[in-house]
Amino acid sequence: MNTIAAMVVKRIGMGMLTLLVISVLIFAGVEALPGDLTEAVLGQNALPETVTAFRKELKLDLPPHIRYFSWIGDAVRGEFGNSLANGRPIAGLIGWRFSNSLFLALATAVIAVRVSILLGIAAALYRNSFFDRAISIATLSTISFPEFFVAYILIALLSVQLIIFPSISNINAQMSFWQKIHAIVLPCMTLTLVVMAHMMRQTRAAIINILSDPFIEMAKLKGLKKARIIILHAFPNALSPVINVVALNLAYLVVGVVIVEVVFVYPGLGQLLVDSVSKRDIPVVQASGLIFASVYIGLNLLADVLSIISNPRLRNPK
Amino acid sequence: MAFFKLLRSSPLSARVGLVMVLITIAAAILAPVISPYGETEIVGDVWLSASKDHYLGTDHLGRDLLTRLLYGARNTIAIAFVTTFLSFTVGTICGFFAATLGGWTDMSLSRGVDIIMAFPTLIFALMVLSVVGTSITALIVVIALLDSTRVYRLSRAVAMDIGVLEFVEVARLRGEGIWWLMRQEILPNAMPPLVAEFGLRFCFVFLFIAALSFLGLGLQPPTADWGGMVRENAGAITFGIFAPLWPAGAIAFLTVSVNLIVDWFLQIASGLKD
């Protein structure tokens, strides 16, 4: 039990270290700007007084390491300063959008994880059948399609031809839960199709991999039914790679939401990030980048920790 | 001749992929010759439907969609190719160095790559582009550097495997320099997995640039490129006009076809025979 705890603690430590380095990178990226932020925002012809005032407001007159610590300290407390574009506090801009993005990602996760594991098990059960091949071709093609292609096909079919779902997923605080769900059906479906492929293929591969083990041979010789062998004998042992790929794909969702949010004009964090990049609103870019990084690193961490815990060989050391 | 022999042993899927890629490349090279109008020429009304004059209709400014699609192939594929090439050069050189030198070089390069890979590529690219601006050079360099981390991982792993073989040891004892070891001993033996990886990375880079252009942060108008064309014509879809589906479909077409070929190469590289 001790080795496993030590491994988990070590992994978490690594994760924290990575996050720290990333935050330094995010901060230093802006420092590398030729001239500095002042010139990028105010232009080269700004009056000296304006420049001084601006530098003072953004604390650019302090040395970099002090600014880094005050920035990261504020970020931990959830304060990110003000947006350059409209002067509003960034925390307010981000809070509501971040919860929207999480809502979309969670809804997708709930559907995608179940469907892909079921399909993966089914494909392993009926291996090399027509059903297996059809699923394999379908998932291979969704991997190669860009997200926006899938999204526009869905819009063309479900919101233009058959007018069932809205093509623009505008949600606000007044809407009820089911209204929100109805609004996000299409983005949710797009993301599901995109992440499902990897999860399903990995589940299938992990189960098939285990089917050649001696204990499965044993179960077969005992005359157990095929479905029972796969669900009760093979699947629990395939759990570690499956959990890993599920968590990795949830991390992938973090990036997937950016494009899907733009397609469906969904008020999420990804949309905010893209807008701020084109407006060069750098404090907002830094803040949302830091949040994306924390979520992504957190989920990767979770994937590793869960696969350490769910590995029976590590759980029961000799 | 060896090439044709190889081609004859290829599976059907790879041949289909090859034909699809050749069609796209031919379209890209011949764009100025076969396209009926100029790249940015306004030829008619906005979002005209398909007719004899405009086989795919017109776009949001009244430019011929087919012409834009052909020129788009040119720009998008050329930039994706240059980026992948740059990423491979940087990635394999660093990977081989790390594997042959070991020690400190290996440690510092690998940890650096670990950190960059712990961060979603799209977010990283967005943040860097927000600082350096969206010029084509910046786009190519940023994506190539981000992508070279994956190439580094693979080439380091492959070179590690090859580096312990006898003939490399012999060359080392003969007193050959590091460049000789990398170029003459390791590179030729690392070719098959690297070629397959080149196809995969090309797909990834190509999709990535398309995504950035779609977000309005890649190639800037009026240059035609497929991702940007999807973005420009996105509004049409709510009117039941399928203009954005053509460039989006073209992107899917090229990625699927490259993937079909890559599958075949992967099979050769892993030495699997069915």
With a cut of 60, say whether residue A169 has pLDDT above it.
Answer: yes
Q: Does A125 touch chain B (CB under 8 A)?
A: no
% of chain B beyond a pLDDT of 90: 6
% of chain A beyond a pLDDT of 70: 89
| B238 vs A contacts (CB less than 8 Å) | 155, 159-160, 167
Q: Does A251 touch chain B (CB under 8 A)?
A: yes
| Residue A15 Cα, gap to closest chain B Cα (Å) | 9
pLDDT at A275: 84
Please write the tens of the pLDDT for every residue from B78-90: 899 999 999 999 9
The mean predicted confidence, pLDDT, of chain B is 82
- Gap between the Cα atoms of A26 and A233, Å rounded: 46
Q: Does A259 touch chain B (CB under 8 A)?
A: yes
Mean pLDDT is lowest, of A169-173, A251-255, B12-16, B99-103, for A169-173
Please write the tens of the pLDDT for every residue from B173-186: 888 888 888 888 88
pLDDT at B90: 93
Residue identified by tokens 């380091």 is: B156
The SS3 assignment for B51 reads coil
Q: How confident is the model at residue B36 (pLDDT cuts 50, 70, 90)?
A: confident
Q: Which residue has the higher pLDDT, A313 or B274?
A: A313
Are B230 and A148 an interchain contact pair (Cβ–Cβ within 8 Å)? yes
> Which residues sit opposite B42 in a β-bridge?
B63
pLDDT at B86: 94
Are B126 and A26 an interchain contact pair (Cβ–Cβ within 8 Å)? no
Amino acid at position A100, single letter:
N
Please write the tens of the pLDDT for every residue from A183-227: 777 888 888 888 888 788 888 888 888 877 888 888 888 888 888
Please write the tens of the pLDDT for every residue from A226-256: 888 877 888 787 777 778 777 777 777 877 7
pLDDT at B130: 76
| Residue A139 Cα, gap to closest chain B Cα (Å) | 12
pLDDT at B91: 92
CB A32 within 8 A of CB B130: no
Sign of CA dihedral A50, A56, A62, A67: negative
Q: How confident is the model at residue B1 (pLDDT cuts 50, 70, 90)?
A: low
Q: Does A170 touch chain B (CB under 8 A)?
A: no
With a cut of 90, say whether residue B256 has pLDDT above it.
Answer: no
Q: How confident is the model at residue A34 (pLDDT cuts 50, 70, 90)?
A: low
Q: Flag whether the ipTM exceeds 0.95.
A: no
Q: Where are the domains of chain B?
A: 46-270
Sign of CA dihedral B90, B91, B94, B97: negative
Listed residue (A249, A166, A163, A169) closest to A202, CA to CA: A249
Search chain A and give the residue with CA nearest B263.
Answer: A140
Please write the tens of the pLDDT for every residue from A42-85: 666 777 777 777 777 666 667 777 777 777 777 777 777 777 76
Chain B interface mutation, best of A84, A277, A279, A297, highest count of B Cβ atoms under 10 Å = A277
Please write the tens of the pLDDT for every residue from A262-286: 888 888 888 888 888 877 777 888 8
Averaged over B62-70, what is the pLDDT?
80
Averaged over A129-133, what is the pLDDT?
82
Question: H helices within B102-235, ranges in order?
Answer: 103-117, 121-132, 136-163, 166-173, 178-180, 187-214, 226-233
CATH of B46-270, one of 1.10.3720.10, 3.40.640.10, 3.40.50.1820, 3.40.190.10: 1.10.3720.10
Please write the tens of the pLDDT for every residue from B6-28: 777 777 778 888 888 888 888 88
pLDDT at A229: 83
Q: How confident is the model at residue B272 (pLDDT cuts 50, 70, 90)?
A: very low
Averaged over B123-141, what is the pLDDT?
82
pLDDT at A313: 66
Instruction: Classify each residue of B121-156 as buried b or exposed e, where b means 16 or more C-beta atoms within 10 Å of its C-beta.
Output: bbbbbbbbbbbbebeeeebbbbbbbbbbbbbbbbbb
Please write the tens of the pLDDT for every residue from B143-158: 898 889 989 988 888 8
